[in-house]
Structure 1
C-alpha cells in the first residue's frame, strides 16, 4: 500500500450475490404471503401489472420474498514472485441456510486472518450486505459482529462500494456494474445472460453452474474496477484463480 492508496488491497473481501424469488410462481405463495406481497408493492407496482404479474420481476430482489442461491467472494494477494493475484471462491447450495452457514465460516476465517478487513463490491451498501444480513436473521443464524452496521455512520462501516465511489457525492446517481466497467475501459465477458434471467436459469434450466460462473465474473469485474480507481494495472487472466 502506498501513501496515496486509501485502503490496502489485501484487506478487501470482494463479494457478489445472486438471488431469486422464494417460489417460482406467485400462485405457490401461501395466501397470507400473497396478501403481504400485494401490500409490499402496492405503491411501486406499475399500473399495467397485477401483483401476480409483478412477482417474478421484483420478488427476487426483496429479502422478505427472495432467497440467496449463490455468493461469490474474492481477495487480492501477492504470490512468491510478488505478482498481484486474485482468488475467487463461490458458495451455493439448494438449502439457503447451509449456504449462509458456509459463507459465515469463510467470513470468520477471513476475519481471523485480517481483523480489519473491508467488504467490497458494487452496490453492496444498498443491496448485497443488507440482503445477506436479513437472510441471516430469517434463517435464524447469528449475524457476525463485523456485519453489525445498524446505527453506524456511513464512514464507520467496513465497506468499499464501487457504485458509491463513482457517485463522487452525487446521491441521485445510479450506475450499473456493466456501465461502469465500460466507462473505465474494462472488458467484461460477453455472457449469454443477465441478472433478469437468473430466476429462469435457476428454476427452469436448473443450471446452477451457469449462475455460479455469472456471479464469479461480476466479482472479477469489481476487482478490476477497484484497480482502476487506484490507477493500478488491471489483472491479467493468468493472475486470476478459482478455488475449488
Structure 2
C-alpha cells in the first residue's frame, strides 16, 4: 500500500472535450470536405440517400482529422500520509486557439514524469491529443510518446480497460461505472452528445469546461474505487484552478 500511495501523486487524470473543426460543413476546406464525404459514406450505410455533409455537425468532432480540442481537464492527488488524506486538485485548459491550448497542456505534461489516466483514454483522449498536436506542428511531450517504447514503458492508464479485466467484448460508459460505484453523475445539464451544440449554437464554453472537470473528478473517483485497499483514506476535492489564459479572459 505504501508504494501505491507514493505513486498515486504521479497520476494525472485527464479528459478532453472536442468539437467539429467548423460549425458548418460548407466552411470546411474543400480537400477535407471531400475526405469527410468519403468517411460519411461508411457511416451512412443504413441511409445511403442522405445528402453529403449531413453527419458532419454531429459526428466530425470525434475524429481528430475533422475535429478540434476545445478544452482539457486535468486533476491529480496530493497525498498527506500523516492525515490519511488525499487532496484532489483539478485544472482546466481552454483557449479559442487550439494550438495555444495544446501548447499549454504540453508544458504541464513536461513538468514531471506523469502517468496519464483517462476513461477510454487509450482509444480516444491520448491518440486524439497526439494527432491534433502533430497537425499543429507540436512535438509530442514525453508522456504521449509511445513510438519505439515497450508496452510496459508506456505510462498510460485507462479506467475502462481496467474494468474489462481482459474482456474485450464490451464498451463501458463512464456514467455506468459511476452508477455502479455510487459516484455522483457528471452529466448535469450536458453530456458528450451535446458538446458541439453547446459550443457552436449556445456559445457556452463555460458549461463545457464544468462538464469536462466533472468527468475528470469522476474518473479519479472510479480509479480509487478500483483500489479498495485505500478505502480508509479521506478524499478532499479542491476548487479547480484556471489556466492563465482563462484568468486573462
Does the alignment reach a TM-score above 0.5? Answer: yes
- 2:66 aligns to what? 65
Change (3 A) 1:82 1:236: closer
Q: CA deviation at 1:154?
A: 4.0
Q: Which secondary structure does the structure 1 equivalent of 2:68 belong to?
A: strand
Residue 144, structure 1, aligned to residue 141, structure 2? yes
The Cα shift of 1:40 comes to 2.3
Give the RMSD, CA atoms, in angstroms: 2.2
Query: In the alignment, what sits opposite 2:21?
Result: 22
Give the Cα separation in 1 of the matches to 2:186 and 2:32: 38
| Structure 2 stretches lacking a partner, 5+ long | 243-249
Aligned to 1:203: 200
Matches of 1:234 and 1:205, distance apart in 2: 43
Give the superposition deviation at 1:238.
Answer: 4.5
Are the counterparts in 2 of residues 14 and 119 from structure 1 also a CA contact under 8 Å? yes
Q: Unaligned stretches of 5+ in structure 1?
A: none
Residue of structure 2 in register with 1:124 after alignment: 121
Matched, 1:214 2:211: yes
2:110 equivalent to 1:108: yes
Q: In 1, Cα distance between the equivalents of 2:40 and 2:5? A: 40
- What's the CA shift string for 1:69-117, capped at 9, x where partnerless? 00010000125845211000110000000000111111112x2xxx3x3
1 CA distance for matches of 2:106 and 2:24? 30
Structure 1 contact 181–188 (Cα < 8 Å) conserved: yes
1:129-163 deviations in Å (ceiling 9; x for gaps)? 00000000001111113321135454431011000
CA separation in 1, counterparts of 2:77 and 2:236? Answer: 14
Deviates more, 1:147-156 or 1:178-187: 147-156
- Show the 5 A alignment for 1:171-210: 171-189=168-186, 191-210=188-207
Structure 1 residue runs of 4+, over 6 Å off? 234-237
Is 1:168–2:165 an aligned residue pair? yes
Superposition TM-score, scaled by structure 1 size: 0.90
Corresponding residue number in structure 1 for 2:44: 45
Alignment-derived partner of residue 98 in structure 1: 100
* Range moving further from structure 2, 171-180 or 130-139: 171-180
Determine the structure 1 residue equivalent to 2:7. 8
